[in-house]
Amino acid sequence: MNALELRNVRKRFKKRRGVWVDALDDISLTIRRGEVVGILGPNGSGKSTLVRVISTLVIPDSGEVHVFGVDAVAHPKVVQRNMNRVSVEASFFKKLSALENLLYGAKLYGVTDREARERIREILEHIGFDYKRAQEPMEHLSRGMQQKVALARALLTSPMLMLLDEPTTGLDPRSKREVQAFIRRIRERHDASILLCTHDMREAEELCDRVGIMVDGRILALDEPRALKERYAADGRIPDLEEVFMAATGYSVEEAAAEEE
């Protein structure tokens, strides 16, 4: 059984009168157990909508979404238990400490307080979060530190499927490396299947088994990074992933990362 299966998923949004946008335009995608699949795409290409549909926050107009064989549209509660989403919009109780927020998160997933406390310490240390600061209110922490708490919360509940929506965007270089190293470790242990949306080509290449390129709600290419590069080879020269991205999308990396108009 696959960790994730999307078949012909569509989602349209009304932008203004008479103007619609196909955020997801006939998306089919499979993630095998233990596999890390990256999605690279410019702003507005539909990555967040993809993550929201899988995490049952948005209902697709048509198509099927199965998480470990369970229909996500018909049984959102069951599916939510088997996955966790990390995104910049992660919600916390800002006045409470990181530790209190993490304990609360663990409780929702049925992890006991004692078990949670041990694991919280271990996870925070692994991702380079100074445990002494875990007692401070969330609102005192930098964005990078809050992002690490969001990641810790996702890991704490041992989700079978992790949806990482730009987990390193906005982090300082050191935090970024720590978070990436942690994702790499999870990957090596093969204990989670991961969908990773990112702007960062190197991150995608280093962390993902397969990478998809998304533009205007469609996945243009999805393959192992090496195979993608071979596919776009010209005159016997193998391009890097950045060049593949430009060739496939017509966007430069800078344009892809720029704010949506």
Ligand X SMILES: Nc1ncnc2c1ncn2[C@@H]1O[C@H](COP(=O)(O)OP(=O)(O)OP(=O)(O)O)[C@@H](O)[C@H]1O
Residue ranges that bind ligand X, judged by CB under 6 A? 13, 15, 21, 23, 41, 43-49, 260
User: What is the rounded distance in angstroms from the CA atom of residue 17 to the CA atom of residue 47?
Assistant: 24
Structure tokens at 259: 């704010």
13 vs 68, which CB is nearer to ligand X?
13
User: What is the rounded distance in angstroms from the CA atom of residue 108 to the CA atom of residue 157?
Assistant: 9
Residue 208 beta carbon to ligand X: minimum distance, rounded to whole angstroms: 17
103 vs 246, which CB is nearer to ligand X?
246
**Where do runs of H (alpha helix) occur along 55-112?**
76-81, 98-108
Residue 50 beta carbon to ligand X: minimum distance, rounded to whole angstroms: 7
Residue 259 beta carbon to ligand X: minimum distance, rounded to whole angstroms: 7
User: What is the rounded distance in angstroms from the CA atom of residue 71 to the CA atom of residue 4?
Assistant: 10
102 vs 215, which CB is nearer to ligand X?
215
Residue 75 beta carbon to ligand X: minimum distance, rounded to whole angstroms: 23
41 vs 159, which CB is nearer to ligand X?
41
Rg of the chain over Cα atoms, rounded to whole angstroms, equals 19
User: What is the rounded distance in angstroms from the CA atom of residue 30 to the CA atom of residue 227?
Assistant: 17
